[in-house]
Structure 1
Amino acid sequence: MRAQPVTPAAPIPLLTGTLTSTGSDTLASLMSGWAADFSRRYPEVGVQIQAMGSAAAAALAAGTAQLGPMSRPMSEPEIAGFRQRYGYAPLALPVAQDALVVMVNQANPLEAISQRQLDAIFSVTRQCGQAAPIRRWGDVGLTEEWRTLSLLRYGWNTASGTQGFFRLRGLCGGDMQPTVNELPGSVAVAQAVAASVNAIGYTSMGFHARGVKRLAIIDAAGHTLTADAQTLRRGEYPFTRPLYLYVNKPPGKSLDPLTLAFLARVLSDEGQEQVSQAGYVPLTQSQRLRARRAAGLP
């Protein structure tokens, strides 16, 4: 029997130029991984990644970046500024699922914390319902030498979408304590918590570091929950959030070829496998299909 001819793979189109991404620190490792994959596939394209916090995604409105990674939805003023310049809103594409996790020093015996306790630690307004502020580890039930040890609080700075999300979800929309030490990102927060036995902080689930321990979250019904693919996809973990790529797509028109090709890789099987490898949760098939359609991908 004559062997059937092998159908050659479709050629990769030639693309040249530069893609610029300006935005979220949370998405920095993912963007770097996607950029490396994209550069291998399209060696004539340069990809520049600037991780300056989600507020820096305003570069998309200024036209200095084609990609605006954000760990939160754009605010109404940000969308209004973009609309004022272009006459339409930017396109928000979810590219991964993330969650905020609370971490303490690895020597800390605490294993879980409630949202009300978390609010009483970080917030000055205590809108989640805790009657009194929490200042010492004994206030969350620790004993012996931990009972009188004061808390040292670490969080993200105001340029980050992570702080805004934490205030909205973790603090029930309340105001941050002035005693919270504000740092520029996951690495800085984790290093600070690892260096101080009485420290507590919050970060993205995609970040792992030595010297710290993640706490489970006790929800309003008394269930103890950890951040994983199951609790995120079932909507059980209280601090779940999508991660976005914002792009400038005029209604009824196609994205520029570089941006479209980059999104095709991000929303491919390979691109979503990188999401898993980075410690985040990939989109479901239906979520990915909706994102591809919105971007104008087949």
Structure 2
Amino acid sequence: MKKLLLGLSLVLIASLLAGCSQEGKKGEISGEVKVAGSSTVYPITIAMAEEFNKLYPNVVVSVQSTGTGGGFKNFFIPGYADINDASRPIKPEELEAAKKNGVEPIEFLVAYDALTVIVNPENDWVDCLSFEELRKIWGPEATGNITKWSDVNPEWPDEEMHLYGPTSASGTFDFFTEVVIGKEDAHRKDYHGTEEDNTIIQAVERDRYAMGYLGLAYYLENKDKVKAVKIKNEKGVCVEPSIETARSGEYPLTRPLYIYVNKESLKKPAVREFVRFYLENLDSGIVEEIGYVPVDEKTKEENLKKFEEALKELGIE
């Protein structure tokens, strides 16, 4: 994601600086903000952290890409992380486990993504896929049965299909299985699972018979290396994944992205100011520059209202 992060314009940076209070500029805040979770939300949080550090250089924002579920289970719920990036809503059982550990998650909607199915650029037989075809490739019944491209469509090559995607600890995995396949955890087992989206890109780039799926930002960063597959919507129209089609709702694999903040962590000035900065700059250009759809003004205001209410409940002015 370096290219994207370095690509933030001087005008954007100037506007961010101008938007911050004089008090914030002069503040001597220090400490650490610990973030885990979604690899999809990861580039947004990294970009926010880089801009935040220009104003608060004494704050260390550490961000781990662990997958949504992995972040919740291993870091956020036990209280080891202040924030969990998430490409799906928190599950009821995760929320219950968090509360048992004294962690009260506050949900903030931060962007929208267009989950993207990718193939090798030399793949000249697949340009558009229906949900039915995706289920045939990725569903649990495909394990050991759908091994060649020709098993899906006899007109496709009689060559072994190599599949790459996120692990079951990922929110991307959860969204894909629930929306595309139709039920939670219903996913073929014999594929190459990883929490490193760039690994999926590299694998598909070098293999003509490979397919994978990941967040839009990773595809946009590598669109010269892999090809995005159009997805057929309910009207039977093949729609290409993009910021525009996700914003309009035309693309059928559009999904919300979140951050979850441990309410207790807001007592720490470093965490409090980072979350404030994050929410105030959701429409500043950072989210779109990364490759996602920014939230609208109403959502931004709702996020900030929720944030301020949490501070009041904690007795923080």
Shorter chain as denominator, the TM-score bin is 0.7 to 0.9
Offset of 1:141 from its aligned partner?
A: 5.5
Contact 2:116 2:229 in 1 (8 A): yes
- Count of aligned residue pairs for this structure pair: 279
Residues 104-151 of structure 1 deviation map (CA, whole Å, 9 limit, x = unaligned): 10001121111110110111248xxxxxx75543466585xx532232
Q: Which of 135, 140, 164 is residue 119 of structure 1 equivalent to?
A: 135
**1:202 and 2:213 matched:** yes
* Corresponding residue number in structure 2 for 1:3: none
Q: 1:166 aligns with which of 168, 171, 176?
A: 176
- Match status 1:296 vs 2:296: no
**Partner of residue 6, structure 2:** none
Unmatched segments (≥5 aa) in structure 1:
1-8, 127-132
Aligned-partner residue type, residue 163 of structure 2? R
Q: Map of 1:150-229 to 2, 5 A cutoff?
A: 150-173=160-183, 175-207=186-218, 208-209=221-222, 210-229=224-243
SS at match of 1:11: helix
- Flag structure 2 segments of 5+ consecutive residues without an equivalent: 1-20, 312-317
Give the % identical residues. Answer: 28
Match of 1:48 among 62, 65, 73: 62
Q: What is the letter of the counterpart of residue 260 of structure 1?
A: R
Q: What's the counterpart of residue 10 of structure 1?
A: 22
TM, length-normalised to structure 1:
0.85
Larger Rg: 1
**Separation of aligned partners in 2, 1:179 and 1:60:** 30
In structure 2, what residue type is equivalent to 1:192? A
Question: Relative to structure 1, is the Cα distance of residues 84 and 97 closer, same or farther in structure 2, using a 3 angstrom cutoff?
Answer: same
Q: TM-score, normalised by structure 2?
A: 0.80
Query: What is the match of residue 33 of structure 1?
Result: 47
- Cα distance in 1, alignment partners of residues 190 and 33 from structure 2: 40
Q: How well do the aligned residues superpose, as a CA RMSD in angstroms?
A: 2.4
Question: 1:23: Cα distance to partner?
Answer: 1.4
- Matched ranges for 1:51-90 at <5 A: 51-54=65-68, 55-58=70-73, 59-86=75-102, 89-90=104-105
Q: What is the DSSP-based 3-state SS (H/G/I as helix, E as strand, rest coil) of the residue aligned with 1:19? A: strand
Distance in 2, Cα, partners of 1:230 & 1:204? 15
Is this contact kept in 1: 2:39–2:66, CA < 8 A? yes
C-alpha contact (below 8 Å) 1:115/1:218 kept by paired residues: yes
SS in 1 for 2:64: strand
